[in-house]
Amino acid sequence: MKISIFGLGYVGCVGAACLAKLGHTVIGVDVNQKKVRLINEGKPTIIEEGIAELCAEAHAKGLMSATMDVREAVHATDVSFIVVGTPSSKEGHLNLNYIYKVAEQIGAALSDKPANKDGLRHIIAIRSTVLPGTNEKVGEIIAQSSGLVRGKDFTIVSNPEFLREGTSVKDYFNPPLTLVGTDMPEAEAVFREIYKGIEAEFICTDIRVAEMMKYVNNTYHALKIVFGNEVGNICKELNIDSHKVMEIFCKDKQLNISPYYFKPGFAYGGSCLPKDMKALKTLAHDHYVEVPVIEAIGESNELQKRHAVQLIMAQGQRKVGILGLSFKSGTDDLRCSPIVDVVESLLGKGFEIRIYDKNVKVSELTGTNKDFIMAKIPHLQHFVTDDLEAVCRESDVLVVTNKEKEFAELLARYPNKTVVDLVRQWKEVDYEGHYEGLSWGDINTNRTGQETTIAQDFRQTEF
């Protein structure tokens, strides 16, 4: 395939050399004459292990060249990668002027480029790290400068890179996954062909999802480093080998290093997570070790409870039915159940509350379970029932708090309610009423498919 790459810096140079290694014909484009000259001499524009050999090989086979002429590169290729810089301001905003300038130039070059046999003139891929919404803006700029129509004459995909400096060549050929965000099946097929020689899962997704991924990944990597350092600082004060601690931590692939607990939704609860997290925080405090990340965990959890209260209140209805009171489905454990705090807050604001939980029998509560709920809602027996039909019938807003199987048919049985979903009970919905998710947007499909339930709520799993 014939590919042009706009920007011959770190990512662009590595991409050009690696794509040539995969057998594609690559033309690099840059405003820097020195970079163009280096590529045309078979030399890299950066210092990186393995890159010099790849550039020399690509040059010898006639698979890689460079130019400063945008029109020449666009007309000679089928796909253009945009990999120019997106420097950050001190406030954290991105400077996208380079992206927009290249988009304008590509658009101008496309205006007189003939269409291929399928009618599509060009595919543009944004490889630079950009915030969600950039792809759409780039499309508008190209359409304006070319006079062409996105989705008919050209299309734009988001194809973020996951390269680490120092091992970028190895990472390019051995990525954790290949991610492409597009709204055109034709573009997906082209990118499957481009990356055919790379043994990694190919994921095609929504454009804005693809744009978001690099930021989520790198922020989490930063979080892991800081968390590890805070654990290490506590361990040092206790004369514990922190590396042994974290080595064992990482061996748990079922919970610690896994998809468990990574489902956006409601706050955590139960007796173990809150208690043990507070204990570690207190241990650090007792030894005068500052742990701001660990300190922030509890407050962030409380913030999610407040978010739930605000979302319920925003529906503008006073009769609220709570479906599930225990901290997870299949149990009567109310200790630190986050929905209890939500109920307490709503009651204090004058809401009319009805609660359904078949597992919670107020008269049989004992021990710490009873002590906890009596301190929060001493007259709980007036609100809790095991009659699901009555709660749903008499409430205007239904709040789903855990994944009991009996809630799966809720939308079909009560088509005109307002449903607030705190746990993503349904992956997608086709609902006549009003649906609100706590930490996700509109998932209404307007299709006649059945709702899909998620069998287990990983966040609420406790061991």
328-384: pLDDT as tens digits: 777 777 777 899 899 999 999 999 999 998 877 665 666 666 777 777 777 777 788
Q: What average pLDDT does the chain have?
A: 89
Amino acid at 396: D
CA distances, 339 to each of 95, 299, 304, 346, 401 (Å): 42, 16, 11, 10, 7
The number of C-alpha atoms within 13 Å of 338 and in the hemisphere containing its C-beta is: 29
**272 labelled catalytic:** yes
**Under 8 Å between Cβ of 213 and 160:** yes
**Residue 186, CA distances (Å) to 39, 125, 154 in order:** 31, 13, 11
Name the strand (E) or helix (H) holding 72: helix 70-76
**pLDDT, tens only, 299-317:** 999 999 999 999 999 999 9
SS3 385: strand
Nearest to 256 by CA among 39, 17, 414, 458: 458
What is the tens place of the pLDDT at every residue in 70-120? Answer: 999 999 999 999 999 888 777 778 889 999 999 999 999 999 999 887 789
Confidence of residue 233 (pLDDT cuts 50, 70, 90): very high
pLDDT at site 365: 63
- Average pLDDT, integer, range 214-221: 92
Q: What is the arrangement of strands in the sheet containing 418-421, beginning at the earlier edge strand?
A: 384-385, 352-356, 319-323, 397-400, 418-421, 434-437
Instruction: Answer yes or no: is pLDDT of 254 > 80.
Output: yes
> Residue 9 corresponds to which tokens in the numbers above?
């810096």
Residue-level pLDDT at 442: 67
Rounded Cα–Cα distance for residues 418 and 315 (Å) = 8
Domain locations along the chain: 2-206, 303-460
Q: Which whole number is the average pLDDT over 411-421?
A: 90
The answer on pLDDT for 450 being more than 70 is no
Q: What's the rounded Cα separation, in Å, for the pair 443 and 365? A: 38
pLDDT more than 90, % of the chain = 68
pLDDT of amino acid 366: 66
**Same topology between domain 2-206 and domain 303-460:** yes
The CATH classification number of 2-206 equals: 3.40.50.720
* Cβ contacts of 389 within 8 Å, gap of 6 or more: none
Catalytic residue (choose from 18, 250, 272, 392) = 272
- CA separation, residue 129 to residues 73, 181, 221, 224, 448 (Å): 22, 13, 16, 21, 37
Compute the C-alpha angle 308/446/396, nearest 5°. Answer: 40
Answer whether residue 2 shows pLDDT above 50.
Answer: yes
Buried b (16+ CB within 10 A) or exposed e, 47-75: ebebbeebbbebbeeebbbbbeebbebbb
The pLDDT confidence band at residue 208, using thresholds 50, 70 and 90, is very high
**What integer is the mean pLDDT of 160-171?**
91
Global pTM value = 0.83
Helix (H, G, I), strand (E, B) or coil at 402: coil
- Top CATH class of 303-460 equals alpha beta
CB-CB contact of 100 with 137 (8 Å) = yes
In one-letter notation, the amino acid at residue 154 is F
Helix (H) or strand (E) holding 242: helix 242-251
Instruction: Read off the pLDDT of residues 24-71 as tens digits, 9 standing for 90 and up.
Output: 999 999 999 999 999 999 999 999 999 999 999 999 999 999 999 999
For 74-87, write each residue's pLDDT tens digit. 999 999 999 998 88
134-161 average pLDDT score: 96
Phi, psi angles (nearest 5°) of residue 48: -160, 140
Q: What angle do CA 222, 228, 231 make, to 5 degrees?
A: 140
* pLDDT, position 445: 54
The C-alpha atoms of residue 256 and residue 242 are separated, in whole angstroms, by: 16
Spatial strand order of the sheet with 2-6 comes to: 64-67, 25-29, 2-6, 79-82, 122-126, 154-158, 178-181, 202-205
What is the model's pLDDT at position 459? 38
Kindly report the backbone phi and psi dihedral angles of residue 79, in degrees, each rounded to the nearest multiple of 5, phi listed first.
-135, 135
